Amino acid sequence: MSAAHPLSMLSAEEVLIAKQVTTQAGDLGEGAVVVHVILVEPSKESLAAWSQGDPVLRTVKMLVLPGAELTMIELLISVSEERVLERKLIEGMRPALLMGESFIAMLACKEHPDYIAAMARRGIVDLEHVQIDPWPAGAFGFAAEEGRRIARCISFVRLTADDNGYARPVEGLLVHVDLGTGEVIEVIDHAQLDGVDPIPVPQTPARYGPDDVGPLRTDLKPISITQPEGASFTVEDNLVSWQKWSLRIGWDPYEGLVLHDLGYFDSGRVRKILHRASISEMVVPYGDPGPVQGWKNAFDAGEWGLGRMTQSLTLGCDCLGEIYYMDATMATEQGDAWVVPNAICMHEEDYGIGWKHVDLLTGRHEVRRSRRLVISHIATVGNYEYGFFWYLYLDGNIQMEAKLTGIMSSQGLPDSEPHPFAGRIASGVVAPVHQHLFCARLDFDVDGEENRVEEVHVETMPAGPDNPWGNGFAAHAQLLERESGAKWQTDSASSRSWRVTNPGVLNGLNRPVGYKLVPTMSTPTLMARPESSVARRAGFAQHNLWVTPFDSEELRAAGEFPNQHEGGAGLPEWTAADREIVDTDIVLWYTFGITHIPRPEDWPVMPVEYTGFMLMPFGFFDRNPALDVPPSPPGHCAPDHSAPGNGAPGHCG
Ligand code: NI
């Protein structure tokens, strides 16, 4: 079955064809593991040239790991022609961590005599419910890292199979496992090395199920979202149309959701805004400099995969209202199709008022409701959950919101010990200070490919004859000409934003059409020192904004293979060329996130914390594009539902 459109999502059939072709080519022998099968997106030229009814030629990239060595085979496969187009060896790099190998690593730890002995020194002899978390290793120059793919494994004690193990971190015990051979390289017991007693395993339970947390509140009345005429969006294949928006939904094992070909219908045509938007990479560096916690940093996109770790969503729980779900198709490590049902959730949300004014002279009152289309997925990466929510609004705004929840990485520390790099979250348990830094890749095509970027900030005018009252301030825009001048930090004091314009297309006021990127919340950059291992590897996180000229090969902000990579790849490497970025096809990279200072309220499971950014039209339209939203019919109040005792007139519907 052939795809309907060059940007249709990868299908199970295509994965199977790729497997057959690779098997026939002899590259999927005994012990070989498939790392991923990814749709190769069509070039902008071929996409523009394609029209309905033309043949759809589909190509995928398959990455195969033949064995324990640091060699991978990347195959470019035409699934339309069922043949290998290109085969290349990738030497010296490590793929993202693999599920099969991770499970083998867990078992290997539990069987190793040094591990059993170290656990016994902590009074743990029954290892049945011990939970072992394999972490990406980073690059610290340990002998164990050399020439191998490794994981650093840390342990937690569950009392039962479904317990929350993060309540009982086994402190000071680290196991290096060779993922290629499945063998334990070394068991490092920091307590033994330091000649001290091990930190006791904390005993405070941290279960959070409805049966564990005490009486549940009983005064929450139902909120029902009803859309009696259905949702206002349509989906055909992966083409979504909602109000004046149109886009295609895509999926990548590392980025998760991808928005393609995002445009807004205006003046009789769809005006393109973004060719492609995604979360390209993210990093979670920890602030504790000690040997037990200091190696902790995770590139949850490139080392695990926001797509690979995505879980199915549940109606009524994850998503409320008239939901349209889409499945995500990837490849298993055996090369078979792996479909995550209900991976992507799409629905509309009422979002309060969109605009309003009351004419105080006449009492005339005009108000319109705001509404947004929500496109989301949620990845569970080990202890943490990341929800990625893209919102499209009636007024042309586009928003990305990341929702952070799940369980913090915990550390055992007696209550009497100081904890300068961690927050006390329970008796015997602290959580190290850390950051979550996401990098969005935004391939803007604002009314076409030839765009430029300006940094915009507001300046207070100097005192003088031009500013006699001292009140003067004005917005200043400076054109970003080359990559070297396009590395920026946010600055809320000067209201800094970045504007993408197309000087070749003028609006009705004779100004170039544009969109601006607005940091909607304060956002840090990487706290680690620039010469540190994690800063070299997460170069993208040293600046909030980067601009590059479009290159189809430049997709992942920390490079293609961040796992155990020594650093420098991705944005720092590409922008070292200092290419021109004026009136060409440009890509904005925006790093945003939070510095998480753990608090008791984040335990045992963390209430959602939000971070993100907004893309707002800036002269893309000639006036408020939501003027044509019709007034909502007025509701009525129902006194019979009046809340008892508060004298209120009742609820209004
Ligand atoms: Ni956190």
pLDDT category at 638 given cuts 50, 70, 90 is low
Inter-residue contact 184 to 177 (CB < 8 Å): yes
Say whether pLDDT at 58 is over 70.
yes
Say whether pLDDT at 474 is over 70.
yes
pLDDT tens digits along 145-182: 999 999 999 999 999 999 999 999 999 999 999 999 99
Report CA(385)–ligand 1 centroid distance (Å): 10
pLDDT value, residue 605:
97
Say whether pLDDT at 604 is over 50.
yes
Report CA(402)–ligand 1 centroid distance (Å): 12
For the chain, domain boundaries: 12-91, 99-194, 234-450+480-617
Q: Which of 384, 386, 393, 515 is catalytic?
A: 384
pLDDT category at 650 given cuts 50, 70, 90 is very low
Of the candidates 431, 416, 433, the one whose C-alpha atom is nearest the C-alpha of residue 167 is 431
pLDDT category at 521 given cuts 50, 70, 90 is confident
pLDDT tens digits along 577-595: 999 999 999 999 999 999 9
Q: Which two tokens stand for residue 242?
A: 């909602």
> Is 384 marked active-site?
yes
Inter-residue contact 453 to 629 (CB < 8 Å): no
Say whether pLDDT at 642 is over 50.
no
The architecture in CATH of the region 99-194 reads Roll (3.10)
DSSP state, residue 46: H
Q: How many CA atoms lie within 13 A of 242 on its CB side?
A: 27
pLDDT category at 646 given cuts 50, 70, 90 is very low
Q: Which of 133, 300, 585, 602 is catalytic?
A: 300
Say whether pLDDT at 647 is over 50.
no
* Cα(547)–Cα(443) distance, integer angstroms: 10
Inter-residue contact 382 to 133 (CB < 8 Å): yes
Rounded mean pLDDT, 47-62: 96
The DSSP secondary structure of 514-557, one letter per residue, reads EEEEEE-S------S-TTSHHHHHTGGGG-SEEEEE--TT---T
pLDDT tens digits along 74-108: 999 999 999 999 999 999 999 999 999 999 999 99
Inter-residue contact 153 to 133 (CB < 8 Å): yes
Residue bearing tokens 């198709």 = 329
Report CA(537)–ligand 1 centroid distance (Å): 20
Report CA(131)–ligand 1 centroid distance (Å): 20
pLDDT category at 130 given cuts 50, 70, 90 is very high
Say whether pLDDT at 637 is over 70.
no
> Is 300 marked active-site?
yes
Class at the top of the CATH hierarchy for domain 234-450+480-617: mainly beta
**Residue 439: phi, psi to the nearest 5?**
-125, 110
Of the candidates 177, 195, 168, the one whose C-alpha atom is nearest the C-alpha of residue 114 is 177
pTM of the model: 0.96
pLDDT value, residue 1:
59
Report CA(190)–ligand 1 centroid distance (Å): 25
Report CA(127)–ligand 1 centroid distance (Å): 28
Say whether pLDDT at 399 is over 50.
yes
Hey, do 12-91 and 99-194 end up sharing a CATH topology, with the first three levels equal? yes
> Which numeric CATH code is attached to 12-91?
3.10.450.40
DSSP state, residue 57: -
pLDDT category at 140 given cuts 50, 70, 90 is very high
pLDDT value, residue 636:
64
Rounded mean pLDDT, 371-391: 97
pLDDT tens digits along 421-460: 999 999 999 999 999 999 999 999 999 999 999 999 999 9
SS3 103: helix
| Greatest Cα pair distance in the chain | 85
